Amino acid sequence: MRDFHRAEERRAHFQPGIPHQPAHHPRVRLRPGQGGVRHPEGIRGSNLEPEERIVTMNACKYIFALLLAGGLAAPLPAQDVEAVVQRRAQAAQLPPTDSAILYHGTTYVIQDDGRVERTEHVIRYLRTDNAWDDYGDPHLAWDTERQDLEVLVSRVHTVDGRKIDTTPNGFNPIVPFGLDLAPDFTRYHQMVVTHLGIETDAVTELKYVVKDREPLYPFAWGEVIFGGPEPVLERTVRVQMDPPGRLLIREDNGAPKALHLQEAPLEAWVWTMKDLPARHTGDPGAKPGKDLPRVTFSTARDWASLAGAVQQRFDAASDRSVLERELAAFRDLAGEQKLDSVTAFVQDRIALKNFDAPGMLLTFRPANRVLATGYGSPADLAAFHAAAFQAAGMNVEAYLQCRCPMTVPQFTGREIWLLHVTGSGIDAWVETAHGDVSYRMPQGGSLIGISPVKEPKLLPQASSAENTLSLDLGLTFAEDRSAQGWFTLKASGDVAPYDECRSQKAEDVIRGWLTGLYGDLEVTNARVTALNPSAVEIQAEVMFTAGADSASDFLRLALPWKVSAMDGFLPHGLTLNDPGRDMPLHLDCAGAIEANAQIRYPEAWTLAVAPAPAATQMAVTAQGPEGTATASPLTLIRQVDSKPGLVTVNERVEFTDSTVPPPAWNDWRKVVLAAAKDEARTVVLEPGE
């Protein structure tokens, strides 16, 4: 099944569809004497997950890449800031990184109507010149229509003890690139804060408040993940109810239990962690929400309340009557023709606009406005697709999919919209941001029903025994160097290329798998012999005439399978060259790959090179809650047999476990590289006289 999260690669969330305000910025304030300057209005956080992003001006990197939700940090007195700055010497002894966070405090004050006031206080040690570019001009995002931004402190602490505050011309509001030409979304702004006096070993201090004037929803919620690309000496999160009220909280993956403060009229929860090492959370196959300490909280009493509030807005925006005239002709179509026609209608007319803000995921503009402007947020595209499918006479259910277990009623901001479309001979899932269609049930993570409302459920995944991919190739060479033979692909479980085989010609699918075998390859009699979501079989006959190797009279064949490039098992973009990894690797699927080749040739010919036999089984020992457990996450077996006129290669690579812990990474990657290298897949024949 297509990995919708991979296809989308991450969106953002902010709120759509409100008129653009004038260019003045009455709602942005700077605290006199503390490096503050007046700034545009509003803030970007939301009750959702007010994840403030600070981006470098040149590299556009988010500084708080994993700050997914809020908490307000208790303010540090001036003397405490000085003590924190002195931790620079401690941070200098840490393993090499461009920067280190000496202190990061986040405080959330939640009002009973769902409004949130979030304060961020970050004191960062710049260890290299790269850090100047990365963190010298953070971008603070906010929604000017419903939030205020106040910068309290923007300061550089130099090595010789000076304190250099940002001057008024160092605060410059901008509209993010890509939204500047979309008037309905120019409400989203970023304040570019330029630190002055930056030098190597300097410490930057930034403190700001994002305050809701209007709630995004009548509930507040958030997620905090402890850890990220920079080492952190101290991380503090505080969630405060004003007035005191009901708050659901959950700590996962080793997060500390909250310190619960109940001193009328104050009620607050505080989490603190120290000495967090740097983690490469952006590496392919990394899942910070599953492996790093995580705190989630919500004022919603249950999922029905939260999803119901989203449903009300979604249903209002997905009014099919707006599109009934435009799609009237589509009602007479059926099956895939109707589905493809509707998705093409939407994709041809509506361009995706996105930004890292909760409103982009969870607020909706009416379908007629989306159609009139020709662009939409992920939320807009979900509602617009739903309106279009219904106008064409199809049934639609709307869901949000998230990779993390959804225990507390809250959204992380990493969800994607999926529509389950049925009727007219169709049963399909559509990822609406890009119009990707799958005829299989989504895999992995949680699925939350929005319209109609349904409790989150973990999506089932096939077991490693069910996930199998078998490739069989048979070739026979004649004296004139021509070859003919056959190729069969069998796959089952979650790795079965069901969507690929439904949407492409059998010949094209076979050509994709045989790429690299030989340049001028002819595929004939290609046919699909089994096709269902959990089992696919496709066969074809192949033929080609081999030329001589450019350096000799040899014939060189590259067997068409490379484990490191197998879609469905290894995460897309995974790099095997780095021996170090600090986050667990999560495979797309556990399972087995079998590849068998039988090559016949005239007995007068010579087998000059054949793949080397191999037999490797990795055992990983991990300390579990009940003691030591041993698993075998990777097995490689390659058997090579030859006799005059025949060579056979039988290879099996088995991923027993879908998770590879960091201590096992280096050995694991070596086995995969050994299975994938060209020498392991090359057969060289020398024709006889």
Q: Supply 19's token pair.
A: 């008129």
| Domain match, 531 and 407 both | no
Region label for 206, one of left (φ > 0), alpha (ψ between -120 and 50) or beta (otherwise): beta
CATH of the domain at 321: 3.10.620.30
Tell me what pLDDT residue 600 has.
96
Are 172 and 274 members of one domain? Answer: yes
| Pair (429, 485) in one structural domain | no
Last residue of a domain, one of 298, 317, 349: 298
Query: Under a CB-based contact definition with an 8 Å cutoff, are residues 124 and 99 in contact?
Result: yes
Give the whole-angstrom CA distance, residue 531 versus residue 354: 37
Q: What angle do CA 306, 311, 315 make, to 5 degrees?
A: 165
Beta bridge partners of 30: 151
Residue 456: per-residue pLDDT: 92
- Identify whether 32 is part of a domain: yes
Q: Can you give the pLDDT at residue 557?
A: 87
pLDDT at 43: 29
Residue 1 maps to a domain: no
Residues 6+ apart with CB under 8 A from 468: 490, 491, 492, 493, 495, 591, 592, 593, 594
Domains in the chain, number: 3
* Tokens linked to 605: 């010919």
43 and 189 both lie in a single domain? yes
Tell me which long-range contacts 254-262 makes (C-beta under 8 A, separation of at least 24).
254/293, 255/226, 255/293, 255/294, 255/295, 256/293, 258/295
Element (H, E) at 590: none
The predicted structure's pLDDT at residue 462: 85
Domain end residue (candidates: 252, 270, 298): 298
In a domain, residue 115? The reply is yes
Cis ω for the linkage preceding 138 (within 30 of 0):
no
Query: Cβ–Cβ contacts within 10 Å for residue 60, how many?
Result: 11
Give residues with Cβ within 8 angstroms of 343, minimum separation 6.
385, 430, 435, 437
- Is there a single domain that holds both residue 609 and residue 680? yes
Considering 298, 322, 339, which residue would you say is the last residue of a domain?
A: 298
Whether 159 is in a domain gets the answer yes
The verdict on 526 and 570 lying in the same domain is yes
CATH number for position 102:
2.60.40.3140
Angle separating helix axes 303-317 and 378-391, nearest 10 degrees: 60
* Inside any domain, residue 285: yes
Helix (H) / strand (E) containing 660:
strand 659-660
Claim to verify: residue 378 and residue 236 sit in the same structural domain: no
357: containing domain? 305-458
Residues 262, 397: one domain?
no
Measured distance CA(204)–CA(195) in Å, rounded: 7
Estimate the crossing angle of helix 378-391 against helix 335-349, to 10 degrees.
140
Does residue 11 form part of some domain? Answer: no
Q: Is there a contact between 421 and 331 (Cβ–Cβ < 8 Å)?
A: no
Q: Specify whether 446 is located in the same domain as 525.
A: no
The enclosing H or E element of 531 equals strand 522-532
What CA–CA distance (Å, rounded) separates 20 from 15?
Answer: 12
Is residue 13 assigned to a domain? no
Taking only Cα atoms into account, the Rg of the chain, rounded to an integer number of angstroms, comes to 29
Q: Which two tokens stand for residue 481?
A: 């160097």
> CATH no. for residue 584?
2.60.120.1130
Residues 55 and 201 grouped into a single domain: yes
- Give per-10-residue mean pLDDT for the chain (689 aa): 37 28 41 36 30 31 31 59 95 95 96 95 96 94 96 96 96 94 95 95 97 96 95 96 88 95 85 96 93 96 96 95 92 93 96 93 96 97 97 96 87 94 94 94 90 92 90 93 94 92 90 82 93 94 74 78 80 89 92 94 93 84 54 85 95 91 91 84 85
pLDDT of amino acid 407: 84
**CA atoms of 190 and 213, how far apart (whole Å):** 18
Residues 491 and 599 in one domain: yes
Residues 120 and 164 in one domain: yes
User: For the residues of 276-314, what is the DSSP string, one character each?
Assistant: EPB--TTSTT--HHHHS-EEEEES-SSHHHHHHHHHHHH
Gap between the Cα atoms of 298 and 250, Å rounded:
9
Residue 19 maps to a domain: no
